Amino acid sequence: MTDMVERLRGVVEGPVLAPEDDAYAQEVTGFNLAAQHSPEVAVGVTSEADAVAAVRAAAEAGKPVRVLATGHGSPVPITDGVLINTSRLTGVTVDADAKLAHIAAGSRWADVIAAAGEHGLAPVIGASDAVGCIGYTLGGGVGPLSRTYGFSSDWARSFRVVTADGEAVTASATEHPDLFWALRGGKGGLGLVTAMDFALVELSTLYGGSVFFDADDIAAVFGAWAAWTKTLPATANTSVVVLRLPPLEVIPEPLRGKTVLSVRFAFVGDPAEGERLFQPIRAAGTAIIDGVGEMPATDIALIHNDPKDPTPAFDRGLVLTDVDPGFVSAFLDAVGPQQQLPLIAIEIRYLGGAMNRDVPEGSAAGGRSSAYSLVLIGVPDPSLFETVLPGVVDGVLAGLRDWIATEAIVNFDAAFSFPGSYEACWPADTFARLAEVRATYDPDKVFPFGPA
C-alpha cells in the first residue's frame, strides 16, 4: 500500500494518511465511536478535484472506496481499501429567489438551517442538525416535518457525483436521470457525492417542541398518543420515546435518573390550531416539562434534542404496520417503566402523510407505505454491543412481532443487522432497478454497499 499512499500524495492536495501516521486515527473517526475504522489509507479531500483523483487512483489499484463525512451512518467498521473523508468540503450558499441551497458534501444541517433562515426559508431535515446532509439525504431521510413535506430526498434537485471511473458528473432530472433517481433514496454504491442542490420551503416559525411525562403517566399518555395519531392531519408530525436517563448533571433536574416518556410535536400552520391539536396529549397526563409552543424554524433540532458529541452507539431500527391497542399493551409489557433494560431510548415515529407520495419524476426512496417506525437505542457501553444488547433487542421484538412490517427504511438500519433487512429497504422493483443502476455506474463495485 506504500506505493498507493505515495501516488495519492502526488495528486491530492488534502492529507493522505497511512495507519502509522499521527493524524490517521482522527481522520477515520466518525460520530459512532463503536465503529473503529482501519482502512489501508485515509484521504481527506479538499475539493472535487481531490475526490476525482482519489477515486481514480483507488479504482486503478483495485481498491474499494468508502466515504466518511460525519460518521453518523457508518455503524460497520471499515477495514480495507481507501476511506475518503469529505468533512473539509464545507459551505452552503442560498439562492433565496429560487429557494435553493447549494450544499457541499461535508456540510451539516445546522449550516443549512442558519443560511436558509436568513431568508425565511428552511430545509426539510432529520431529527439532528449535527448530521451530515449528503449521507442522510441519500437514504431518503425522515425528520420532524416529513408527514408535511415528505422524505428529505424529495427536495434534492441535483447532485455532483464522482463515479467509479473517476468522472465528475451532474445527476439531475435532465442529466443522468437514472443516477439522480437512484441517489434520491438508494443510499450507497453509486459514487461519491461532492455537493447537492436542495430545495427549501417557506417556513420561519412552527408550533412544536417536546413534553415529558413521569413513569406513572407513561401507560396513559402512550395509549392516548397511539389513538391521537389516527386523527392528525398531514400538517402535524409527532413521535414518542421512552427514555431511561442516567443521573447526570447535564440532564435537567426533573428528568435526572428517571424513566420518562417524551412526546414530540411539529405543526406547520396557525399556532392556535397547533395548540388545539396538541391538547389531547396535555390532557393525558401531568407534564413534568412542557416545551411545546410556537418556535423559530431555525430551532427545529430542539424538538428531538439529539446528542451532538461523538459516542459509541448501538441501535436497531425497523417499521411497524400499526400502533393499535394490542401493540400498546405489548409495547408497555416489553419496554415500560417496570422493565429493567439496558436501552436508553425506544422511539416510535408516526409516518405517512406526504411521505406516501413519490415525487413526479420518481425516486428510489423506500418505506413510502410505512405507518410507524421503531428505533431501539442501547446504552453506550461497547462491551454490551456484541451479545447483550442484540439479545435484549431480539427479546423486545419477539413480543412485538405481530406488528413488525416486512419493509424497512435504510437510514434506520444501515448495519443491515438481520437476514433480509437489506432487501427490505426497498420495494422489489425498486431494489432491482437500483441493482441495475449500480451495475451501470459501478460495474466493478469500487463503491461496495450492502451486507458483507
Whichever domain contains 116, its CATH number is: 3.30.465.10
Cα 312 to Cα 423: distance, rounded to the nearest angstrom: 27
Residues 6+ apart with CB under 8 A from 374: 317, 318, 319, 320, 346, 347, 348, 400
For the chain, what is the domain count? 3
Asked if 28 contacts 69 with a C-beta cutoff of 8 angstroms, the reply is no
pLDDT value at position 1? 60
Asked if 5 contacts 83 with a C-beta cutoff of 8 angstroms, the reply is no
Whichever domain contains 242, its CATH number is: 3.40.462.20
Q: Are 331 and 187 found together in one domain?
A: no
Tell me the pLDDT of the chain (452 aa) as tens digits. Answer: 678 899 999 999 999 999 999 999 999 999 999 999 999 999 999 999 999 999 999 999 999 999 999 888 778 899 999 999 999 999 999 999 999 999 999 999 999 999 999 999 999 999 999 999 999 999 999 999 999 999 999 999 999 999 999 999 999 999 999 999 999 999 999 999 999 999 999 999 999 999 999 999 999 999 999 999 999 999 999 999 999 999 999 899 999 999 999 999 999 999 999 999 999 999 999 999 999 999 999 999 999 999 999 999 999 999 999 999 999 999 999 999 999 999 999 999 999 999 999 999 999 999 999 999 999 999 999 999 999 999 999 999 999 999 999 999 999 987 887 788 999 999 999 999 999 999 999 999 999 999 86
Greatest alpha-carbon pair distance for the chain in Å reads 68
Q: Are 49 and 195 found together in one domain?
A: no
Q: Which domain-ending residue is among 51, 85, 119?
A: 85
Pairing of strands 259-267, 236-244: antiparallel
Q: Which domain-ending residue is among 85, 102, 125?
A: 85
Q: Are 321 and 396 found together in one domain?
A: yes
Whichever domain contains 27, its CATH number is: 3.30.43.10
pLDDT value at position 76? 86
Q: Are 182 and 298 found together in one domain?
A: no
Q: Which domain-ending residue is among 175, 202, 229?
A: 202
| Domain-embedded: residue 452 | no
| Domain-embedded: residue 144 | yes
Cα 157 to Cα 175: distance, rounded to the nearest angstrom: 11
Q: Are 355 and 238 found together in one domain?
A: yes
Q: Are 117 and 256 found together in one domain?
A: no
| Domain-embedded: residue 436 | no
Q: Are 418 and 277 found together in one domain?
A: yes
Q: Are 224 and 284 found together in one domain?
A: yes
pLDDT value at position 65? 97
Q: Are 198 and 217 found together in one domain?
A: no
Domain encompassing residue 105: 92-202
Q: Are 35 and 58 found together in one domain?
A: yes
Q: Are 194 and 223 found together in one domain?
A: no
Q: Dig out the grid coordinates for 293 from the structure.
A: 409552543
| Domain-embedded: residue 108 | yes
pLDDT value at position 325? 98
| Domain-embedded: residue 61 | yes
| Domain-embedded: residue 439 | no
| Domain-embedded: residue 81 | yes
From residue 83, how far is each of 129, 179, 414 by CA, in Å?
Answer: 24, 22, 17
| Domain-embedded: residue 451 | no
Cα 109 to Cα 319: distance, rounded to the nearest angstrom: 25
Q: Are 163 and 174 found together in one domain?
A: yes
| Residue tagged 402512550 (cell numbers) | 222
